């Protein structure tokens, strides 16, 4: 199963580039299958990592930045891939 972890933070106005640089410098203790970093208006930064793991696996996540860099707590979401997955999760693959 593939699990995607999403990490989104909003920088203090005018500090978006600093938050982006901070997020890009974070090293996780394990290497994900894939990692992408995005930015958006209002100094927002989004990092998505993909892992080959169970949905509830203990996976490394980016930490909270220093409170002076962000205007609110980081938002985090976890998703599982459904592309090509059987409709019944209990059904064996290929059916």
Is it true that domain 2-54+66-80 has CATH number 3.90.78.10?
Answer: no
Contact by Cβ (8 Å): 2, 81: yes
pTM: 0.84
Domain boundaries, the chain: 2-54+66-80
Burial of 8 (0-12, 13-18, 19+ CB in 10 A): middle
pLDDT in tens, the chain (95 residues): 999 999 999 999 999 999 999 999 999 999 999 999 999 999 999 999 999 999 999 999 999 999 999 999 999 999 999 976 554 455 444 44
Distance, in Å, from the CA atom of 23 to the CA atom of 95, rounded to the nearest integer, reads 41
Are the beta carbons of 50 and 32 closer than 8 angstroms?
yes
């Amino acid at each position: 199963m593939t699990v995607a972890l999403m990490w989104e933070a909003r920088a203090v106005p005018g500090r978006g580039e600093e938050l982006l640089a901070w997020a890009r410098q974070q090293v996780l203790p394990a290497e994900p299958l894939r990692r992408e970093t995005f930015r958006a208006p209002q100094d927002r930064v989004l990092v998505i990592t993909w892992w080959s793991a169970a949905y509830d696996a203990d996976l490394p996540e980016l930490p909270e930045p220093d409170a002076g860099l962000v205007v609110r707590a980081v938002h985090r979401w976890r998703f599982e891939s459904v592309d090509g997955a059987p409709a019944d999760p209990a059904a064996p693959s290929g059916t």
